[in-house]
Every structure is written in C-alpha cells, then in structure tokens.
Structure 1
Amino acid sequence: MALLEWSDALKVNVAVIDRQHQRLVQMINDLNEAMKKGKGKDILGKILDEMVRYAMTHFSTEETYFDRYQYPEAASHKSEHAAFVNKVKQFKSDFDKNKVGLSIEILNFLSDWLVKHIQGTDKRYGPFFNQKGLQ
C-alpha cells in the first residue's frame, strides 16, 4: 500500500503543477517502498537526491509563474520552498555522513510537508492562476 495516494484533494487545477505534484507523491512512495524492502544506502541516497533535484525543479516552475503573473503571496511561498530545501539538504548531508539513517520520521516529514503545503499554500494560488488563464 502506498504511503500517499494522489487524489482530487491534492489538485491545484494547474495541469503542469498537478503533474509535478503527482511525481513528488510517487517519489515519496518510491522512497517508502525502498525503505520497507531494506534497500541499501546507495539506492536510498539516489532516491533522496532525485527527490531534492525534482523538488527544486518544481519550485522553480511555481516561482516562475509567481513572477510572471505577479502572485501576491509569492514572497512567503518562496520562503516555504527555501526552508524545505534547506531541511532536506540537511537530511541528505547527515545521511551521507552516516549521522542519520533514513528513518520513518524523515519520511513522515517529507510526506506531511508535501500534503500540507499542497493543500494549504499551493491551493491558494490555483484560482489566481486559473483567472490568469493557466489551466
């Protein structure tokens, strides 16, 4: 069973962003499966690296739209992105230095943050972007 299930509750109704959110959900599920199967550190590290890179690409997509359409909550939203990236980079650094293993707490942080961010902060920009013609 997947840790996270994609549903309409996670849609922001901007197709490119919804596709990226779906991919992030899948990556968290992939990380969860690898952990459950006892995959080695190299595999877990690669999945985590890929997730960090993809999250940064996704945030860049959102932030490009914020700038293009002058989204009024852009500054606070970008702050959330930066805080998340810094936290995950610290997890990755600690993991690489064998200071910490990939634990359920880290996985829960990733999944909880993503769901809360989409359902809270991201949902607010959906109608704004829709009014600007983004579907």
Structure 2
Amino acid sequence: MDQQHQDLWSAVVALKESSRWVEELGGVIDAVEAHFRAEEALFDKYQIPNVITHRTEHKRFLATLRKKHSELSAKHEAKEDLSAELDDVVKSSTKWLKIHANAYDEPQYGTFFKDGEYIGK
C-alpha cells in the first residue's frame, strides 16, 4: 500500500509536466480507484474495524476527482486556459493524499500490519 501511495503521488505530480494532462487525469482516477479497491479488500479480508469513515473519504475523493475531470474536459474542448486549474488539481490532490495517508491509512494499517505483513489484531 505504501508503494501504491507513492505511485499515486508521483502520477498526480507528473500531470504538471504533461501536455495531455486532462486525458492523463482520467488514468490517475483509474489508478486511485484501483488502489482504493485494493485497500478496501484488505479491510474485508482482515476484518479491519472502524472503516466506514475511511471508505466514505475514498468515495468523496473519487467523486471530487471525477467531477473536476469532467469540468476540465469540457473547458479543454472549449480551448480555455487551464494552467491555474491544473495547479489547483495537483495541489489539492497531493494534499488530500498526504492527509488521508497520515490520518487514516497509517493509524489503521500500522496497528495491523508491519513491513507489509499482517500481524493481527
């Protein structure tokens, strides 16, 4: 999971260097969704408690990304300048990923996993 977090962070930051970042944001959304599915599968497999809010945060972040992607795609088609909005997407997404990992992932996983191995309840 830690490596996936780093990969997601890197993918979001890489959007700033891309000339096709609106399209690539769709790929980032797919990667975030896949990561959340994998994370939530661990919740189920190991019966991690107290994950309702955690799952809700995943859903909210994905909804925000999808909405932003839709808005930006429309503006891109209209040939609008999106540079300020790109900065906003990168800053807000990296901030969310950092806060989420520190507030949700680390406290929950740190209790149940060590060095990628399940250590129990």
Give me the whole-angstrom Cα distance separating, in 1, the residues matched to 2:98 and 2:110.
18
2: distance between equivalents of 1:120 and 1:32?
26
State the superposition RMSD in angstroms. 2.1
Q: Aligned AA for 2:93?
A: L
* Aligned residue runs from structure 1 range 38-77, under 5 A: 39=19, 43-77=20-54
Give 2:2's match in structure 1, choosing from 9, 14, 18. 18
Residue of structure 1 equivalent to 2:14: 30
Structure 2 segments unaligned to the other structure (5+ residues)? none
Give the aligned partner of residue 67 of structure 2. Answer: 90
Cα distance between partner residues in 2 of 1:70 and 1:120: 19
- Look up the equivalent residue of 1:25 and give its one-letter code: W
How many Å apart are 1:89 and its aligned residue?
Answer: 0.3
| TM-score of the superposed pair, with normalisation by structure 1 | 0.75
Return the match for 2:102 from 119, 122, 129: 119
Higher relative contact order (CA 8 A, sep 6+): 1
Q: Percent identity?
A: 24
Distance in 2 between residues matched to 1:103 and 1:28, nearest whole Å: 10
Give me the whole-angstrom Cα distance separating, in 1, the residues matched to 2:62 and 2:31: 11
Displaced runs of 4 or more, over 3 A: none
Q: How many residues align?
A: 112
TM-score, normalised with respect to structure 2 = 0.83
